[in-house]
Structure formats: C-alpha cells, structure tokens
Amino acid sequence: MPPEDVRATLPDQAPPALLLQGLWRRFGQKIAVAGIDLTVPAGSFYGLVGPNGAGKTTTLSMATGLLQPDFGTVLVHGRDLWADPVGVKAVLGVLPDGVRLFDRLTGAQLITYAGLLHGLDRETTAARTADLLAALDLAADAQTLVVDYSAGMTKKVALACALVHAPRLLVLDEPFEAVDPVSAANIRDILASYVASGGTVIVSSHVMDLVQRMCDHVAVIAGGHVLAAGTVDEVRGDASLEDRFVELVGGRVGGEGLAWLRTSSD
Ligand SMILES: Nc1ncnc2c1ncn2[C@@H]1O[C@H](COP(=O)(O)OP(=O)(O)OP(=O)(O)O)[C@@H](O)[C@H]1O
C-alpha cells in the first residue's frame, strides 16, 4: 500500500488536552499575559512554573473559563472553551487559586453539591463523596463547616470538588500549598494514577523539586511569556530544574542588601 493510503487508514491524531494559542490579558496598564502559546499533550502531567507575578494564575484562569482573554483561543481536547464554555467545563476539573467556596456547607455537602452540579445522580455522588473524603483524609471532618477548615483542609476539599465528576483534564493552581506532607503524598498518588489511566493534569507550583519528580512536561513562564516548554528532561538539560529555572528567569539579588537587618554591629 503506498504511504499516503496507509496514512488514510490511521485514525486522526488525538488533539492535545489543552491548546493555548496567542493568549493575551491586560489589567489596566499591566500586561499580565503577553501572547502565550502552550500545548499540553493528552495523558501528560504538565507543570507550570514561574516567578511571582509571572502570569501563571492569569493563564490558568483564562484556560479554564474563569477569566475572559483579551485575545487568543483555548482548545480543550479540540473544543473551543470560550465558544462552548458549558460543554467544555463538563470535562474540566479546576482547582483555582484563592478558592472562594460555599464555606457555610460542610465538607461532605460541598463535594455533594459539586457532584450534583455536574449532573451526577445522588447515589454516584454519595459514593464518590465518601471515597474522596477518605482518600484526602477528611472523613473525620466530613460534617465540619468548610469555614472552620484549616488552609490545607480547604485546599483538599476544593480538590475533591474538582475531581468528583472524573474530568478528562485537571487544572490545579498550587494544589500542594499549605497541605501537609502525608496528604501531599496521597494527592500525588491520586494524580499519578489518574494520569496513568489516561487523564491529563496541569499543575502550577513553585516547588521545582516536586515538579521535576512528579511531572513529565513543564513550561517556565515569566513576564507573561513562555521562556521554555517541553518535556522536563528537554527543559532542564543537564541541570536540575531549579538551576535551569534560576538561569532562565534570573533575579537573584545576593545577600549584601538590607544592611540594617543585620543584628551584629561588627
Ligand atoms: N485582577 C487583577 N488586577 C490587576 N492586576 C492583576 C490582577 N490579576 C493579576 N494581576 C497582575 O498580573 C500579573 C500576573 O499575575 P498572576 O497572578 O497571573 O501571577 P502568578 O504567576 O500566578 O504569580 P504568583 O506565583 O505570585 O501566584 C501580576 O503583575 C499581577 O499583579
């Protein structure tokens, strides 16, 4: 068979889980995101790293339907998010930064609410809520109001809400912030098995070591631009991800400043 006929018999290549094309966003005079292009392959565990104020949260907010871009397109598994936000959000799980939750509900009620909102039936929602509370070590606090949760518990219950409908793409902004090491390890296991079963995770983090160990792809962004993107090995080369990050981003200021802060007089 000639090669072109062979190609015709192959299924179309699956689109990436997330494709960002030419995303821009300005807040007043501040350009937070200045033309970001990113391809997140389906089935990847993708890290998004960058210094404070780099534009990570703004990018992820635009990628998940929380913030309208000034320009650019967002395709989730080939579907235009901003053309069909309701349809696309059905396959999307989001843990936004600085989550505002209905915190007068208990943890169990909040996860149940998220499940029902996504159209799950009551039985499935109840079973998944119990599973998630156990997996995230929240079962003992299932009947506690979320307003009385600690920062880490709040993060975990928000993650449960992002997972309850078994999305195809999970977008997590700083999921490990304020979370204790045991819970973090449990969350990493949950995410690793989710990816192994075909799901895609994109996660922002400031912890380079974690991203290097956990993710297979990474993008470094600063000043609203992508500085480097690809597999973790491609981006870091022979260095650690942390060293490569510092090399790309710069900004080390040395220890000479703040002389007034030194307590010794000599
Ligand atoms: N609602 C807003 N109004 C005005 N400026 C904003 C707003 N949101 C973000 N910015 C600005 O846009 C830039 C990018 O912010 P963003 O929160 O996306 O950064 P980030 O990479 O997530 O930072 P961090 O790592 O500190 O969380 C910053 O300069 C920030 O001050």
Domain boundaries, the chain: 10-91+167-247, 96-165
Q: What is the mean pLDDT of the chain?
A: 90
**Residues 120-130, mean pLDDT to the nearest whole number:** 97
pLDDT at position 117 over 60: yes
Categorize the per-residue pLDDT at 255 as very low, low, confident or very high, splitting at 50, 70 and 90: low
**Smallest CA separation from ligand 1 atom 4, residue:** 27
- Residue 152 phi, psi (nearest 5): -70, -40
pLDDT at position 82 over 90: no
Atom of ligand 1 nearest to the CA of 55: 18
**Smallest CA separation from ligand 1 atom 16, residue:** 55
- Ligand 1 centre and the CA of 224: distance in Å? 10
- For domain 10-91+167-247, the CATH superfamily is P-loop containing nucleotide triphosphate hydrolases (3.40.50.300)
Residue with tokens 């990847």: 44
Element containing residue 133 per DSSP (H, E):
helix 122-135
Residue with tokens 């890290």: 47
Contacts of 170 (CB under 8 A, 6+ apart): 92, 93, 94, 95, 162, 163, 191, 194, 199, 200, 201, 202
**Smallest CA separation from ligand 1 atom 1, residue:** 27
**Residues 202-210, mean pLDDT to the nearest whole number:** 93
pTM score of the predicted model: 0.89
Confirm or reject: Cβ of 53 under 6 Å from ligand 1. Answer: yes
Confirm or reject: Cβ of 219 under 6 Å from ligand 1. Answer: no
pLDDT of residue 12: 57
Confirm whether the ipTM is greater than 0.85.
Answer: yes
Confirm or reject: Cβ of 96 under 6 Å from ligand 1. Answer: no
User: In percent, how much of the chain has pLDDT > 90?
Assistant: 75
Vertex 137 angle, CA 196 and 149, to 5°: 125
- Ligand 1 centre and the CA of 55: distance in Å? 6
Q: Which two tokens stand for residue 38?
A: 């990113």
Confirm or reject: Cβ of 62 under 6 Å from ligand 1. Answer: no
